[in-house]
């Protein structure tokens, strides 16, 4: 199953893609994760992308296309993958089509996780990550006394620098302008499955399973 997870930042694409990947034995390819780990190290890619990420801007298409092409060439992606965070622009979507066509492949399904803007702001600005166990939490769900420490392991909670308020509003604007038009791009090709992204992660996962048909597999 060659799948794209599409949706605004904060929609929960990552959480859902990780789970579906685990259950289907498919690699979760998150461009945000690839770039964050490059940015944290002294690689050329890291140097190239750090500024864009900190501002909540998109990394240029040529850089992204090369990153994804290299990743999809790895052997674990041969039988399918769950792409999360790519494509984000029309040229990226066309580049993905070409990468797959070069191998006589096509995309099977696009899972579009739809969440209203007010909820995205709430989720992104309240998101905290545990430095030890990687837990992903929202301050709105924690008691006031617990917002500094992970309730699972007690380690420190941090905020992604691109979840700070000005960057959040820029990321949402960039999404609306540049990425949202891909909904129509994939809808016209009959690949889009629109998923209600409100509710618990469990509810959303159920919606995704219900929307996938045997021909998507």
> Which residues are marked as active site?
13, 88, 127, 160, 171
Which residue number, 90 or 149, has a Cβ lying nearer to ligand AMP?
90
- 20 conformational bin, left if phi > 0, alpha if psi -120 to 50, beta if neither: alpha
H or E, element range at 170: helix 165-174
Cis amide linkage into residue 87, ω under 30° from 0: yes
Q: Among 17, 38, 71, 86, which residue interacts with ligand AMP (rule: CB under 6 A)?
A: 86
Q: Taking CB under 6 A as the criterion, which residues in 140-169 touch ligand AMP?
A: 162
88-to-65, 72, 200 alpha-carbon distances in Å: 11, 17, 25
CB 57 within 8 A of CB 42: no
H or E, element range at 82: strand 81-84
Which residue number, 77 or 149, has a Cβ lying nearer to ligand AMP?
77
Task: Tokens for 134, please give them.
Answer: 């990687």
Q: Taking CB under 6 A as the criterion, which residues in 167-196 touch ligand AMP?
A: 171
CB 63 within 8 A of CB 48: yes
Does the footprint of ligand AMP cover residue 58 (CB under 6 A)? yes
Which residue number, 62 or 184, has a Cβ lying nearer to ligand AMP?
62
Q: Among 16, 31, 125, 207, which residue interacts with ligand AMP (rule: CB under 6 A)?
A: 31
Q: Among 7, 9, 21, 197, which residue interacts with ligand AMP (rule: CB under 6 A)?
A: 9
Does the footprint of ligand AMP cover residue 82 (CB under 6 A)? no
- The footprint of ligand AMP (CB under 6 A) covers 9, 31-32, 35, 52-53, 56-59, 64, 85-86, 88, 92, 162, 171
């Amino acid at each position: 199953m060659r799948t794209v997870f599409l949706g605004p930042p904060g929609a929960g694409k990552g959480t859902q893609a990780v789970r579906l990947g685990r259950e289907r034995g498919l690699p979760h390819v998150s461009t945000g994760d690839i770039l964050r780990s490059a940015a944290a190290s002294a690689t050329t890619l890291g140097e190239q992308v750090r500024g864009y990420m900190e501002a909540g801007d998109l990394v240029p298409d040529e850089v992204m296309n090369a990153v994804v092409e290299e990743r999809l060439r790895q052997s674990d992606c041969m039988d399918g993958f769950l792409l999360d965070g790519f494509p984000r622009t029309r040229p990226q979507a066309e580049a993905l089509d070409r990468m797959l066509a070069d191998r006589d492949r096509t995309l099977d399904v696009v899972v579009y996780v739809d969440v209203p803007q007010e909820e995205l702001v709430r989720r992104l600005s309240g998101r905290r990550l545990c430095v030890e166990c990687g837990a992903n939490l929202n301050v709105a769900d924690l008691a006031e006394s617990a917002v500094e420490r992970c309730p699972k392991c007690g380690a420190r909670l941090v905020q992604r620098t691109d979840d700070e308020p000005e960057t959040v509003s820029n990321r949402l604007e960039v999404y609306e302008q540049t990425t949202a038009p891909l909904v129509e791009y994939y809808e016209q090709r009959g690949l889009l499955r629109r998923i209600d992204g409100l509710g618990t992660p469990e509810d959303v996962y159920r919606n995704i399973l219900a929307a996938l048909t045997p021909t998507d597999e």
